[in-house]
């Protein structure tokens, strides 16, 4: 919460003498500031709602845009003055408020009170220019691409424009994401605009596929960044038919060579689920390669339908791999596999290998039958996602700690 | 590193004497919030008697308006943010009988909107911070019956995002401080089952950075105040153990100033806001010698226990 307390202000050691010197320097400023405050309070108490009072509030707010009571007084004065003005005069007066708030936002871009006054002005003026607001937002986000006041304001402006143009808003998020992938504010807004901008199912499907590509680019660029991973979780949730069962894959990146058995590479185990699965904290996944136990570290977010574990050390092509997921590794709203342990096995291939899945003889047979096991046929998106993970394994063999929590 | 309790007590006691700084006058609109931050920190540090009770109560009452609302300072307009602080301080000092709380309850309830959200004051700014202020305040006053609780809960639910977090208004990006406001309000209203606790828990746990500190959103810097917003939320949904407590404790302690007070991060200027939330974080982490804090109200547990033995929480 940046409106309270100091944020990012370096401590400076001050001696008693330096403190006294500063106090002496500030004394006249304090005197002038307090006088201005008292003058404002007196004018308000006496109900003096005129142009001179307005000028006093301008002076005070320029010194302290956080003094919310003075903004309130200012609006009371303006409402009184507007009552005697024609439409053009009101418009001209509001233009001055637009200028004042704009100059204050440049120095106090996170001041709730300044943003509020700007909204009030736009809602009060006879001919508000929402296009100008979009320009202001663009400029403010160049200064700080994550300022949530500005993103909230953008949603407000779009709504004020009759919900604006969702396609334009979607394109705006593309623009911000291309500037910097590490902008979750933009990804968040994108998740809201995508279904609105592409309402029919087939164009939406196309865009979702394109966005998987965008997410991959983001993840290659900055694998340790959470923003794109979070959006990927959302994308995966957009397509309910993507996955119909639990599957386990081994993704390995082997150099292209004929010397099959000697070439080894870093690898990941990928587990996919049909519903929103959650990885339980402290849950155990045991991976054995040619009889040797290998540590597996979670590489993706802890919720969602795709979980990747990066394996410690190289895995040779042709290795026999066994992946055992203990009962209780995953849980979720619609999926309770807590009572089911899963063992999968196979031979590591060139890139992506799907392992044969079998249930540990479950104590509770009905729980097992609720969990569809086995293959996914013709799932293009998963193939693409797995290929992207394969490339990630190649590019960033050390990216395993991105979701390190403890 | 240890908590330097006595220095922090001295620091908080000294805040009212800084009238020779321009800063003191420029932050006059936050004075009542400052009294809440300071007195709550003192109570949690076990020094609730460090300030003169009568003087504190008089200072709060001087900010009261005839409509029952409180401003940030005498002559400042009433607002939700300062009204909640006033009620919290009066409750902590067991002085709610010193003012007409019925008028305050009506003032707060009057700011609820038809969709369940709350405005900050008569000018109509909507934010989940104000919804929290309204629910917390009315719960302390035992007058939740004055508002449309179902509408408030519907609004809060609608603010939950796909990542499990909550934002400032419908559609806004998840932000840890607003997660606290929304989860806190739902907890007070006994509606925590509406939160996707695992999903939110993971999002909150991912706020912890390598240096042990917590941030408020993905890819932002760590900040001591998130020790409160994130931890209290994790505590309310029963997942406090999802972060590394030792590393966070070390981070908070390292942000202590040698002259007392806690900063947003090590090496920065301390202030009373971060001092309170650093102490609150340490209290939730079970730091020895601190009074327990109520994660729903950000008040000493002893105070909320006393309050809700008088009238059942609704
Ligand atoms: Zn902070």
Lowest mean pLDDT segment, chosen from A395-399, B105-109, B140-144, B258-262: A395-399
Place of tokens 């709060």: B60
The confidence score (pLDDT) of residue A183 equals 94
With a cut of 90, say whether residue B187 has pLDDT above it.
Answer: yes
> Are A68 and B269 a contacting pair at CB < 8 A?
no
The confidence score (pLDDT) of residue A2 equals 47
CATH number assigned to the domain comprising residue A252: 2.60.40.1220
The confidence score (pLDDT) of residue A338 equals 39
The distance of A161 to chain B (nearest Cα, Å) reads: 17
Please tell me which residue, A222 or A141, carries the higher pLDDT value.
A141
> Are A5 and B225 a contacting pair at CB < 8 A?
yes
Residues of chain A with C-beta less than 8 angstroms from the C-beta of B22: 26, 29-30, 33
Please indicate if any CB of chain A lies within 8 Å of the CB of B274.
Answer: yes
Please indicate if any CB of chain A lies within 8 Å of the CB of B77.
Answer: yes
Whether residues A54 and A118 fall in one domain: yes
- Tell me the pLDDT tens digit for each residue of A77-124: 999 999 999 999 999 999 999 999 999 999 999 999 999 999 999 999
Three-state secondary-structure class, residue A283: coil
Whether residues A285 and A340 fall in one domain: yes
In a domain, A403, yes or no: yes
Domains of chain B, first to last: 27-310 (1.50.10.20)
Show which of A76, A110, A128 is a domain's final residue. Answer: A128
Whether residues A34 and A122 fall in one domain: yes
Residues of chain A with C-beta less than 8 angstroms from the C-beta of B17: none
> Are A67 and B217 a contacting pair at CB < 8 A?
no
The distance of B55 to chain A (nearest Cα, Å) reads: 23
Q: Which residues surround ligand 1, an ion (CB under 5 A)?
A: B 223, 225, 264
The confidence score (pLDDT) of residue B135 equals 98
- ipTM rounded to 2 decimals: 0.96
Residues of chain A with C-beta less than 8 angstroms from the C-beta of B162: 191, 233-234, 237
Q: Give the mean model confidence (pLDDT) for residues A137-141.
A: 97
> Three-state SS string across chain B, please?
CCCCHHHHHHHHHHHHHCCCCHHHHHCHHHHHHHHHHHHHHHHHCCCCCCCCHHHHHHHHHCCECCCCCEECCCCCCECHHHHHHHHHHHHHCCCHHHCCHHHHHHHHHHCECCCCCEECCCCCCECHHHHHHHHHHHHHCCCHHHCCHHHHHHHHHHCECCCCCECCCCCCCCCHHHHHHHHHHHHHCCCHHHCCHHHHHHHHHCCECCCCCECCCCCCCCCCCHHHHHHHHHHHCCCHHHCCHHHHHHHHHHCECCCCCEECCCCECEEHHHHHHHHHHHHHCCCCCCCCEECCCCEEHHHHHHHHHHCCCC
pLDDT band at A241 (very low <50, low <70, confident <90, very high): very low
In a domain, A195, yes or no: yes
Lowest mean pLDDT segment, chosen from A57-71, A79-93, A381-395, B216-230: A381-395
The confidence score (pLDDT) of residue A134 equals 95
Percent residues over pLDDT 70 in chain A: 74
The confidence score (pLDDT) of residue A390 equals 58
In a domain, A387, yes or no: yes
Residues of chain B with C-beta less than 8 angstroms from the C-beta of A301: 202, 206
Query: What is the domain extent for residue A63?
Result: 14-128
Whether residues A21 and A102 fall in one domain: yes
Place of tokens 């007196």: A42
With a cut of 90, say whether residue A372 has pLDDT above it.
Answer: no
- Tell me the pLDDT tens digit for each residue of B60-100: 999 999 999 999 999 999 999 999 999 999 999 999 999 99
Whether residues A230 and A377 fall in one domain: yes
Q: Give the mean model confidence (pLDDT) for residues B219-225.
A: 95
In a domain, A262, yes or no: yes
Show which of A128, A153, A186 is a domain's final residue. Answer: A128
Whether residues A233 and A217 fall in one domain: yes
Whether residues A234 and A259 fall in one domain: no
Please indicate if any CB of chain A lies within 8 Å of the CB of B169.
Answer: yes
With a cut of 90, say whether residue A168 has pLDDT above it.
Answer: yes
Exposure of A348 by Cβ count < 10 A (0-12 exposed, 13-18 middle, 19+ buried)? buried
CATH number assigned to the domain comprising residue A73: 1.25.40.120
- Tell me the pLDDT tens digit for each residue of A275-326: 556 777 666 788 999 989 988 888 776 666 677 888 887 788 888 999 888 7
In a domain, A143, yes or no: no
Lowest mean pLDDT segment, chosen from A39-53, A161-175, B284-298: A161-175
> Are A226 and B269 a contacting pair at CB < 8 A?
no
CB nearest to B173's CB, from A7, A27, A148: A148
Whether residues A223 and A253 fall in one domain: no
- Tell me the pLDDT tens digit for each residue of B9-58: 999 999 998 899 999 999 999 999 999 999 999 999 999 999 999 999 99
Whether residues A235 and A249 fall in one domain: no
CB nearest to B76's CB, from A33, A69, A185: A69
Q: Which residues pair with A288 in a beta bridge?
A: A293, A322
Residues of chain B with C-beta less than 8 angstroms from the C-beta of A120: 123
pLDDT band at A248 (very low <50, low <70, confident <90, very high): confident
CB nearest to A226's CB, from B27, B219, B268: B219
Q: Which residue of A2, A3, A4, A5 to mutate against B (max B Cβ within 10 Å)? A: A5
> Are B219 and A184 a contacting pair at CB < 8 A?
yes
In a domain, A295, yes or no: yes
Whether residues A114 and A69 fall in one domain: yes
In a domain, A159, yes or no: no
pTM of this structure: 0.82
Are the C-beta atoms of residues B4 and B262 closer than 8 Å to each other? no
Give the separation between CA B114 and CA B106, rounded to whole angstroms.
16
With a cut of 80, say whether residue A394 has pLDDT above it.
Answer: no
Total domains present in chain A = 3
> Are B171 and A1 a contacting pair at CB < 8 A?
no
- Tell me the pLDDT tens digit for each residue of A4-33: 788 888 988 888 888 888 889 999 999 999
Are the C-beta atoms of residues B151 and B187 closer than 8 Å to each other? no
The confidence score (pLDDT) of residue A276 equals 59
CB nearest to A302's CB, from B196, B202, B272: B202
> Are B199 and A303 a contacting pair at CB < 8 A?
yes
Residues of chain A with C-beta less than 8 angstroms from the C-beta of B74: none
Whether residues A257 and A332 fall in one domain: yes
CA of B222 to the centre of ligand 1 (A): 9
Radius of gyration of chain B, Cα coordinates, nearest whole angstrom: 18
Tokens standing for residue B113: 């909107």
In a domain, A365, yes or no: no
Whether residues A346 and A394 fall in one domain: no
Give the separation between CA A125 and CA A95, rounded to whole angstroms.
8
Q: What average pLDDT does chain A have?
A: 80
pLDDT band at A196 (very low <50, low <70, confident <90, very high): very high
Pairs of residues, one from chain A and one from chain B, whose beta carbons lie less than 8 Å apart? 158
Please indicate if any CB of chain A lies within 8 Å of the CB of B174.
Answer: yes
């Amino acid at each position: 919460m940046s409106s309270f307390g100091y944020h990012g202000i370096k401590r400076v050691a001050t001696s008693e003498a330096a403190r006294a010197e500063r106090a002496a320097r500030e004394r006249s400023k304090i005197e002038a500031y307090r006088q201005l405050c008292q003058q404002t309070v007196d004018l308000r108490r006496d109900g003096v709602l005129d142009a001179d009072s307005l000028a006093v509030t301008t002076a005070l707010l320029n010194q302290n845009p956080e003094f919310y009571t003075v903004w309130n007084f200012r609006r009371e004065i303006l409402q009184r003055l507007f009552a005697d003005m024609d439409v053009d005069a009101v418009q001209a007066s509001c233009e001055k408020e637009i200028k004042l708030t704009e100059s204050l936002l440049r120095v106090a871009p996170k001041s709730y009170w300044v943003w509020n006054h700007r909204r009030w002005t736009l809602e009060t003026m006879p001919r508000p220019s929402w296009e100008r607001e979009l320009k202001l937002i663009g400029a403010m986000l160049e200064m700080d691409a994550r300022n949530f006041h500005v993103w909230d304001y953008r949603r407000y402006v779009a709504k004020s424009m009759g919900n604006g143009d969702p396609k334009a808003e979607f394109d705006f998020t593309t623009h911000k994401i291309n500037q910097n992938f590490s902008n979750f504010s933009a990804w968040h807004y994108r998740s809201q605009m995508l279904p609105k901008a592409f309402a029919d199912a087939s164009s939406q499907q196309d865009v979702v596929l394109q966005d998987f590509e965008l997410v991959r680019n983001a993840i290659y660029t900055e694998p340790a960044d959470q923003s794109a991973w979070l959006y990927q979780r959302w994308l995966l949730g957009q397509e309910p038919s993507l996955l119909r069962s639990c599957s386990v894959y081994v993704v390995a990146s082997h150099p292209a060579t004929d010397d099959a058995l000697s070439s080894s590479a870093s690898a990941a185990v990928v587990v996919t689920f049909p519903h929103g699965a959650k990885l339980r904290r402290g849950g155990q996944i045991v991976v054995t390669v040619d009889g040797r136990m290998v540590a597996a570290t979670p590489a993706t977010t802890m919720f969602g339908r795709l979980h990747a574990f990066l394996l410690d050390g190289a895995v040779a092509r042709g290795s026999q791999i066994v992946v055992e997921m203990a009962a209780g590794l995953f849980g979720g709203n619609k999926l309770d596999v807590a009572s089911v342990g899963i063992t999968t096995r196979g031979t590591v291939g060139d890139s992506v290998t799907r392992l044969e899945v079998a249930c540990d003889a479950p104590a509770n047979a009905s729980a097992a039958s609720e969990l569809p096991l086995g293959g996914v046929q013709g799932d293009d998106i998963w193939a693409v996602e797995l290929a992207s993970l394969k490339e990630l394994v190649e590019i960033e063999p050390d990216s395993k700690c991105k979701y390190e929590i403890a | 590193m240890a908590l330097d309790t006595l220095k922090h007590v001295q620091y908080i006691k000294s805040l009212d004497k800084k009238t020779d700084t321009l800063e003191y006058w420029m932050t006059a609109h936050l004075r009542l919030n400052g009294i809440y931050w300071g007195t709550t920190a003192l109570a949690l540090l076990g020094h609730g008697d460090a300030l003169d009770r009568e003087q504190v109560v008089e200072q709060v009452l001087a900010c009261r308006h005839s409509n029952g609302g409180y401003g940030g300072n005498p002559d400042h307009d009433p607002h939700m943010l300062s009204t909640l602080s006033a009620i919290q301080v009066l409750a902590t000092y067991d002085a709610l009988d010193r003012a007409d709380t019925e008028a305050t309850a009506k003032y707060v309830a009057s700011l609820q909107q038809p969709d369940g959200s709350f405005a900050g004051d008569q000018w109509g700014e909507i934010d989940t911070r104000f919804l929290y202020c309204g629910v917390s305040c009315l719960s302390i006053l035992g007058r939740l019956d004055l508002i449309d609780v179902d509408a408030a809960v519907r609004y809060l639910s609608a603010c939950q995002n796909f990542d499990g977090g909550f934002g400032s208004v419908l559609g806004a990006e998840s932000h840890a401080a607003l997660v606290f406001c929304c989860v806190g309000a739902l907890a007070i209203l006994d509606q925590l089952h509406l939160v996707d606790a695992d999903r939110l828990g993971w999002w909150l746990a991912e706020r912890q950075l390598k240096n042990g500190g917590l941030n408020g959103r993905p890819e932002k810097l760590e900040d001591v105040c998130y020790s409160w917003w994130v931890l209290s939320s994790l505590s309310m949904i029963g997942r406090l153990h999802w972060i590394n407590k030792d590393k966070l404790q070390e981070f908070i302690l390292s942000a202590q100033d040698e002259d007392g007070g806690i900063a947003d991060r090590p090496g920065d200027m301390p202030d009373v806001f971060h001092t309170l939330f650093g102490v609150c974080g340490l209290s939730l982490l079970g730091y020895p010698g601190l009074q327990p804090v109520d994660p729903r109200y950000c008040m000493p547990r002893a105070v909320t226990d006393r309050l809700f033995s008088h009238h059942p929480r609704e």
